[in-house]
Structure 1
Amino acid sequence: MNKERILYYDLIRTIACFLVIVNHTIWMFGAYNKLPMFTWIVSDALFFIAKMAVPLFIMLSGALLLDKEESYKHLAIHKVFKMTFILLVWSLIYATYAKHSILTFGDIFREIKAIIKQPISIHLWYLYMLIGLYIITPFLRKMIKNFTDKDFIIFIIIWILYSTLLPFIGLFKSFEFSKYLAIPFFSGYIGYYIAGFYLDNIEINKNKIILSVIIFFTGLIISTYITFIMSKVKGTTYMGLDNVRMFPIMLMSLSFFLIVKNLGEKIHERLNKEKTKRIIVNISSATFGIYLIHTLLNRMLGNSPLYNIIFSDNINPILGLVIYDILIFLLSYIIISIIRKIPIIKNIA
């Protein structure tokens, strides 16, 4: 089995993609004091579980890309330029939907200028970040080639302290570091990228999985409890931890990556049905396209009678959310599967 078809990669892609949809549709999280408290607390927990989506995608990219051998030219054409083209196309698709009419040449020119400044649709920010990671990938490859296990651990620890723990502490303790004390190399999403490569290559055992489960629930409890208490104090939903680089979400993401890695390896050992494997692979291969189109479908369905039926008073909001998100996921999968079969447009999904 080659690296692209390691089962746990496909599981992570699929789970992360579904969590993105949950993150973008969990309206009840912002409805503190408007729902039964138990329902809101469940939505609180689901919100932070959904926050793992982007870190999981980034870590998977690190696992897949950081040990590849490819020229600068190949990377530029097949990663940077291709992703830039996809960003442009989908930005114009969302701009067209927002305008409810075909864009004129003048509109297209204005939208391209706007795209340079910020995403046309908020979820497309991920493509900007991904382009940046692709640009620095060849240099990171050369660096980590010489890393020992100790180097990886120290790098990840410094990143955790600087990029996730200090901002988390800063929410509750008033302090500010000098602007001159900047360590860009240990900020942003690079830590997830390198952590994904490291976690992909370490051996896992029962003790590591038990520890990962403990760490995962620790991060979930911290984020859920703090948000609950702060929301209670403020009388409205507290959004202070709504950042994938916050310490509790980092704990959840790294530990969950290992949990799914272990699960994927065990499933692969026991799964002999090629048909089931093909289904998993087919869904996984469509996840990037699902990510790109799901917001469009969410906007369409959000204005439909079906939305009001799913989220009516007769259906529990959490159950309604699950039904709605599965519906968006399946519709997105069907549309993307069709697009991928059409030669002229298959490369945008």
Structure 2
Amino acid sequence: MVLMKDRIFYFDELRALAILFVLLAHVIQYFPININYMTSPTLLSYLTISRMGVPLFFMLSGALLLNKEYSLGSFFKKRFTRVLIPAAFWYIILLISVASANGFNFDLAYLWGQGAEFPWFVCAIIGVYLVMPVFNSFIKEYGMKGVEYFILIWVILLILTNSCLVENYYIGLIFANVGIYIGYAVLGYYLANNDFNIYSLPMVVFCLIIFIATIGYNMYNAFYFAVPVYIESISIIIQCSALFLIFRYLSKFAVFNPKNSLSKVHNFVEKSIIGRIVYILSISSYAIYLMHIIVVNFLLQYYPIETFNLIPVVFLLLAIITLAIVFVLSKIPGLNKIVGIH
């Protein structure tokens, strides 16, 4: 396990937020079975925030893994081991828990119908890892100009995909598997490493305004027009980019202006119990993702969500319980890699 002092704290902050967004999204998806969350204005309003979870994970992967020196063998061995072993571990537990709740019926078709499907996110990660060495070489060869070129093409294709002005079936196929996710990975690398030549505090303020405006725009469309947002939506890309830069430049501002009140608050958070919780959430985010459906199924047996005000309650319980479980597991020697704590 990597020590706190060896980590980039704003990466941990973003990863902690990302897993909380994912938990919120899945609590919403389990909202009363008689309501389709994709047509409920209130639930769609919640989703405008929680949709950022998955993109942020891929952005952080790109920031950490692109433009690096490594051999294909070592890259695939390390990445796939970290992904597949915990995924298999928690999936077996999920199958057992669902089967035991239904008379120990281990028929796979039945279990999948009960929500015990293999996590799609794991498949997306594998797909991105398979093509990441190609993009790693591309970035090493062409630098930031190559990154900007790719992001431009990526955004243009996304605009066309979301547009009703063109036949988008074939363009959509480009993003059917890993296109959207590797795009977020490259975007994350770009936002983490590009020098925007803007002072830290003005950048934080500017991005905060953009972030709030985009959230407001998405919530307005969701609440009044029941318009859902997806991870390929341009507004989600803007939200995630703004949030990423807020944390990057707030961290940078705190380093170079330690006596500023804002910096003191930031440094206090990093060194306090809050920073410790952020760290645990960050290193345990993959484990939490893999096991939280088991906890959700358990919670909904005792706290079925029947009113909107129960969403925050169930979300908070889910976050506390999953965090407590991974904290206990992290104390057991040799279990970290198996359960997905890194």
Give TM-score scaled by structure 2 length.
Answer: 0.78
Q: CA deviation at 1:167?
A: 2.6
- Paired residues of 1:209 and 1:262 also in contact (CA < 8 A): yes
Q: Which residue of 2 aligns with 1:260?
A: 247
Q: CA deviation at 1:194?
A: 0.3
- Paired residues of 2:211 and 2:243 also in contact (CA < 8 A): yes
Q: Which residue of 2 aligns with 1:44?
A: 44
Question: Partner letter of residue 188 of structure 1?
Answer: I
Quick one: structure 1 residues 169 and 51, their matched pair in 2 at CA, closer, same or farther if it must change by over 3 Å? Answer: same
Q: Which residue of 2 aligns with 1:87?
A: 87
Q: CA deviation at 1:323?
A: 2.7
Distance 2:218 2:328 in 1: 39
**Deviates further, 294-303 or 142-151:** 142-151
Q: Which residue of 2 aligns with 1:194?
A: 186
Q: Describe the SS at the equivalent of 2:70.
A: coil
Question: Partner letter of residue 93 of structure 2?
Answer: I
- Paired residues of 1:219 and 1:248 also in contact (CA < 8 A): yes
Q: 1:179 aligns with which of 170, 180, 197?
A: 170
The answer as to 2:21 corresponding to 1:19 is yes
The answer as to 2:140 corresponding to 1:145 is yes
Q: Describe the SS at the equivalent of 1:292.
A: helix
Distance 2:253 2:317 in 1: 29
- Paired residues of 1:45 and 1:220 also in contact (CA < 8 A): no
Aligned residues: 316
Quick one: structure 1 residues 181 and 266, their matched pair in 2 at CA, closer, same or farther if it must change by over 3 Å? Answer: closer
Which residues of 2 match residues 66-145 of structure 1 at below 5 A? Answer: 66-100=66-100, 120-121=116-117, 124-145=119-140
Q: CA deviation at 1:289?
A: 1.4
Q: Which residue of 1 aligns with 2:7?
A: 5
**Deviates further, 150-159 or 124-133:** 150-159
RMSD: 3.7
Q: Which residue of 1 aligns with 2:312?
A: 322
Question: Partner letter of residue 303 of structure 1?
Answer: Q
Quick one: structure 1 residues 153 and 332, their matched pair in 2 at CA, closer, same or farther if it must change by over 3 Å? Answer: same
**Deviates further, 185-194 or 324-333:** 185-194
Could you give the per-residue CA deviations for residues 24-49 of structure 1, whole angstroms, max 9, x where no partner exists?
11256998899xxxxx7564332111
- Paired residues of 1:167 and 1:246 also in contact (CA < 8 A): no
Question: Partner letter of residue 17 of structure 1?
Answer: I
- Paired residues of 1:92 and 1:111 also in contact (CA < 8 A): no
Quick one: structure 1 residues 202 and 169, their matched pair in 2 at CA, closer, same or farther if it must change by over 3 Å? Answer: same
Could you give the per-residue CA deviations for residues 147-171 of structure 1, whole angstroms, max 9, x where no partner exists?
34333223212211202x223223x
The answer as to 2:322 corresponding to 1:332 is yes
Distance 1:280 1:167 in 2: 36
Q: CA deviation at 1:282?
A: 2.7
Q: 2:157 aligns with which of 155, 162, 175?
A: 162
Quick one: structure 1 residues 245 and 343, their matched pair in 2 at CA, closer, same or farther if it must change by over 3 Å? Answer: same
Which residues of 2 match residues 27-42 of structure 1 at below 5 A? Answer: none
Distance 1:181 1:189 in 2: 13
Q: CA deviation at 1:52?
A: 0.3
Q: Which residue of 2 aligns with 1:248?
A: 235
**Deviates further, 202-211 or 294-303:** 202-211
Q: Describe the SS at the equivalent of 1:179.
A: helix
The answer as to 2:55 corresponding to 1:55 is yes
Quick one: structure 1 residues 4 and 57, their matched pair in 2 at CA, closer, same or farther if it must change by over 3 Å? Answer: farther
Q: 2:219 aligns with which of 220, 224, 237?
A: 224
Matched-pair identity in %: 25
Q: Which residue of 2 aligns with 1:288?
A: 286
